[in-house]
Structure 1
Amino acid sequence: MQYLISAIDPIKNSGGNKAKKDIDFFASQLNDTRVIHVKIYYTRLQRYLLTRLSIIKLVKTHPADRYILQFPISTPYVLRQFIEVIQKYTNAKVDLFIHDLPALQLSMDDKERELVLFNQVDNLIVHNQAMKKWLVDNGVQTNMIELGLFDYDNEQPMQKKQEYDPANFTICFPGNLAKSTFLTKVNLSHQLNIYGPNKLDSYPESIRYCGQYTPEELPKHLTEDFGLIWDGNSIETCSGTFGEYLKYNNPHKTSLYLSTGIPVIIWDQAALAPLIKESGVGICISSLTELDSVLLSLTNEQYQLMKRKAEKLGQKLRKGYYTKHALTKLNMDE
C-alpha cells in the first residue's frame, strides 16, 4: 500500500492547483494507492507547533510501504518534518512527485537546502530528462523517474472542425498575464487570444483578451487552432527567469492544449520540444517573429494530421497514463 500526500492550502480552502488535483484523481484509480489530504498550517507559529505532531498522527493512523509527497509542499521546514517523521517512525519509502523546482525556477538563495532534502528521499518523479540532468549536475544522487507529460482531467469535449485555413489560424495563450511580458511585443498577422488574470491595459492589435476561467471551465472556451508555449520578456527567444525555466520543466498548459485536442506551438529550446516534434503534435519555433510564415506554410492535410495526433495523445492524458505509469514504476525500480 502506498499513500499519495497532498497539501490543502488553508487560504484557498482547496486541495491545491489543477495539476496536483489531477495527480490525486488519477492516483486514486490505482488499486494500491490511496490519497490523503493534509492541512498545511499557514502561520509560522502553527507550523512549528503543530506540523510534526500532525505528521506523526498521520503515519500512525495510515501505515504504508510508501509515502509520496507532491512537491513543493508548503515550506522546506514542512518537507523536512515529513521526511524525518516517516524515516523515524516507519520503514516506509518516502518519495517526491515534483511539480516545480523553486530553486531552479526562481533562483532561490536556499537552493542547496532544497537539493539536500532531495538526497534524503528514496525516489523523485521529475518532469523530463533535462530536469533530471540538472538535478544530477547539481549533486542529487536519488533515483529519478521521468514523468513525460502531466495528465489532465478534462471532461469537456474535444473541439472539432472540418476545414482549416492557414491564413486564418488562431492561437490561444492562457496563463498569468502579468509575467508574460512578451505579449506586449507580439506583432502577428494571425490572431492570438489570451486568457487569464492580471491583464494589461492594452496589447498589440493582433491580441484579443478573452476572459478568465477556472481550469475546469477553460477547455470549452478554447476553440483556437494552436496553443502557444512561450514565456519571458522577448519575442526573439524565451528569456529571463521564466523563459529559461522552459528548458527544464513541463508547462501544464501543454497538457491543457493536448487534452483539448489542440496542437502546440513551442520554443525549440524547451525541454518538451523533442517530445512535441517526435509525436507530431505541434511545431517548434526559435522566435515568435517566424510564426506567421511557419503557419502559412502548413497545408490543410498537414494540420489535420497534426490535430489527429494531438487528439490521440490528449486521450492518454485524459486517462492519466503518465501519472499511473510513473507511480507504478516506483515499485518496479526496486
Structure 2
Amino acid sequence: MHTHITCLYGHAYTSTAMLAQIATADIAKEMGFDKVPVYSYPVEADSESELRTRLDGIFSGVGFGDFIVLQYPTWNNVEFDQAIIRKLRAYPRLKIAIYIHDVLPLMFEPNAYLMPTMIEIYNMADVLIVPTEAMYQRLRQEGLQVDRYVVQEMWDHPIDLDLDRPEFIRQFHFAGDVNKFNFAKNWQSNLPLRVYSRDPETALPDQVITCGFMRDTELIVNLAKGGFGLVWADDDHINEYFKLCITHKLGTYLAAGIPVVVPRHLSNHDIIEANHLGLVADSLEEAQDYVANISAEDYDDLVDHVDRYRPLITQGFYTKRVLTEAIFKCLDNRS
C-alpha cells in the first residue's frame, strides 16, 4: 500500500493556508507519503474534458488499494474539490482521508450556502481528520455521516533553529493582518503590541508597532526575543469560528518558545491551561493587566513549560499522530 497526500501550491508566499498544507505534507513525507501537488488556478476556465485530463495527471501516481489524504479545501473552488473526491472514489479499494483545515461555509458567512455540497464531499471519505471535536459535532448537525474521525487539536510548526531563551519583556506579539482586527487598531494599553502584517490602512496608536510581513524564519527569530504571543479577535463571527477551528498562529508562537495569551472560547484553550503555557483570558483588559503585572520569575516559569511542550509542535508530532491514526481507522476494524 502506497500513501499519498495532496498539497496546495500557487498561492502568494504570504498565504497561511498554503504554508499549513506544505508543512503538513512535508511532515507526511518524513513518514513515507508521496506528495501530490495541487496548484491554484482558474478552474472555471477548464471544460469538463480538460478538468478530467488535469485530474488524471495530478493523481497519476495513485493506485488501487492505496491510501490518500486530501487536504481540504484546495482553495480553487468547491466544484474542483467535488471533482477530486468523485474521481478518487471510483478507484477500487482506495482508502480516502479528508484532512479538514477549514470549512468554508463556517469560515465565511457569504459561503454558508455551500454547506450541503461540503457535507456531500465529506461523506465520501473513509475517515476525516478534523481540527476539533466541536467541529465534528457541528458537521454532524449539518448531515455528516462519517463515523470514523481523528481530532487534530493543534497546528504543528516544524523548525530547525537554535533559538536563544526569550527575555522577560512586557509586550505582545500579534501575527495577523492589523487591518482586519479592530482591537489592534484601537489598542488601549501602554504595553507594546508588535504586529506582523502588511502595512496598515489607517493610523495606529503609538503603542502598536508594525513590523511588516516576515517569512517564517525571520518571524520565529523576532518572536523568540521575548514577550507574549496573542491570539485575539473582536469580530463575533471570527470568535464563533475560534470555537470550532484551530489557529495557525498559536503553534507559531509556541514554536518560537514564548508564552501565549488566548481567549477562553478558543477551541484548544485547555492545552494552554493544562500545560501552563500562558494565560487563558476572559477579556483583553484582563490579558493586558496580566502582562503588565507578571513577575520575571513567573514569566521564566512559563517559558520553562513552553520549552518542555514545544517539541510536540516543532517536530511535527500532532501531524504524525493524526496521519497514523487515520490509517488505523481505515484498516483496523477495532478503530
The answer to whether the aligner puts 1:82 opposite 2:87 as a matched pair is no
Give the conservation status (yes or no) of the 8 Å contact 1:149–1:250: yes
How many angstroms does 1:228 deviate by? Answer: 0.2
| Residue of structure 1 in register with 2:31 after alignment | 30
One of 137, 141, 152 as aligned partner of 1:147? 152
One of 267, 290, 294 as aligned partner of 1:298? 294
Give the conservation status (yes or no) of the 8 Å contact 1:7–1:15: no
Going from structure 1 to structure 2, the CA distance change for 1:254 and 1:83 (only over 3 Å counts) comes to same
| Residue of structure 2 in register with 1:189 after alignment | 190
Going from structure 1 to structure 2, the CA distance change for 1:48 and 1:217 (only over 3 Å counts) comes to farther
The answer to whether the aligner puts 1:102 opposite 2:104 as a matched pair is yes
TM-score (norm 1): 0.89
Matches within 5 A, 1:44-123: 44-46=44-46, 48-63=48-63, 65-73=66-74, 74-107=76-109, 108=111, 109-123=113-127
| Residue of structure 1 in register with 2:252 after alignment | 256
Paired with 2:97 and 2:284, the residues of 1 have a C-alpha distance of: 39
Give the conservation status (yes or no) of the 8 Å contact 1:9–1:15: no
How many angstroms does 1:112 deviate by? Answer: 1.7
Give the conservation status (yes or no) of the 8 Å contact 2:129–2:149: yes
TM-score (norm 2): 0.89
Give the conservation status (yes or no) of the 8 Å contact 2:194–2:211: yes
Matches within 5 A, 1:222-241: 222=223, 223-232=225-234, 239-241=235-237
Give the conservation status (yes or no) of the 8 Å contact 1:152–1:259: yes
Going from structure 1 to structure 2, the CA distance change for 1:14 and 1:128 (only over 3 Å counts) comes to closer
Paired with 1:313 and 1:128, the residues of 2 have a C-alpha distance of: 20
> What is the identity, as a one-letter code, of the residue corresponding to 1:240?
D
Partner SS for 1:96: strand
The answer to whether the aligner puts 1:314 opposite 2:313 as a matched pair is no
The answer to whether the aligner puts 1:42 opposite 2:48 as a matched pair is no
Q: Greater CA deviation, 186-195 or 260-269?
A: 186-195
Paired with 2:265 and 2:14, the residues of 1 have a C-alpha distance of: 37
- Return 5+ residue gaps in structure 2 as ranges: none
Matches within 5 A, 1:147-296: 147-161=152-166, 164=168, 169-222=170-223, 223-232=225-234, 239-296=235-292
| Residue of structure 2 in register with 1:235 after alignment | none
Going from structure 1 to structure 2, the CA distance change for 1:14 and 1:251 (only over 3 Å counts) comes to closer
How many angstroms does 1:57 deviate by? Answer: 4.0
Partner SS for 2:38: strand
Give the conservation status (yes or no) of the 8 Å contact 2:177–2:198: yes
How many angstroms does 1:30 deviate by? Answer: 0.4
Paired with 1:231 and 1:179, the residues of 2 have a C-alpha distance of: 9
The number of equivalent residue pairs is 323
Going from structure 1 to structure 2, the CA distance change for 1:13 and 1:224 (only over 3 Å counts) comes to closer
1:160-201 Cα distance to aligned partner (Å, 9 max, x none): 146x3xxx5111001122211221222112211111114233
Partner SS for 1:4: strand
- Return 5+ residue gaps in structure 1 as ranges: 233-238
Partner SS for 1:55: helix
Root mean square deviation, CA, Å: 2.3
Paired with 1:47 and 1:160, the residues of 2 have a C-alpha distance of: 55
Going from structure 1 to structure 2, the CA distance change for 1:62 and 1:14 (only over 3 Å counts) comes to farther
Partner SS for 2:71: strand
Paired with 1:311 and 1:241, the residues of 2 have a C-alpha distance of: 33
